[in-house]
Amino acid sequence: MLRFVILSLMLLTFSLGVYCKGEPSAPVTAESSVEKVVDVVCKMKIKPDDAMSSMHNGHRYHFCSDYCKEQFDANPAKYVK
Ligand SMILES: [Zn+2]
């Protein structure tokens, strides 16, 4: 009888263990730690790492595309106050 109880408890513990492993863990995203910058031409938020950039008045501006960079380079004063 005692052996049956112990076996049941072991089975229960095992089942719980499996159940807990099945719980979805909170995904760890590096996304939130990456600082984003705003493309001053289209106002889109972009990651500086994969963006193109231009220097203007000693400040670096980042753009989502060649198009935005060209727009900025053609008339920086329009986008920078
Ligand atoms: Zn853009």
Distance (Å) from CA 43 to ligand 1 centroid: 7
Q: How far is CA 10 from CA 3, 6, 17, 18, 47, in A?
A: 11, 6, 10, 12, 51
CA of 29 to the centre of ligand 1 (A): 25
How many angstroms is it from 44 CA to the middle of ligand 1? 6
pLDDT at 31: 53
Q: Give tens-digit pLDDT for 1-10.
A: 778 777 777 7
pTM of the model: 0.57
Rounded distance from Cα 52 to ligand 1 centre (Å):
10
From ligand 1's centre to the CA of 2, what distance in Å?
Answer: 72
Query: What is the full per-residue pLDDT of the chain (81 aa) written as tens digits?
Result: 778 777 777 777 777 666 556 656 666 555 556 789 999 999 999 999 989 999 999 999 999 999 999 999 999 999 997
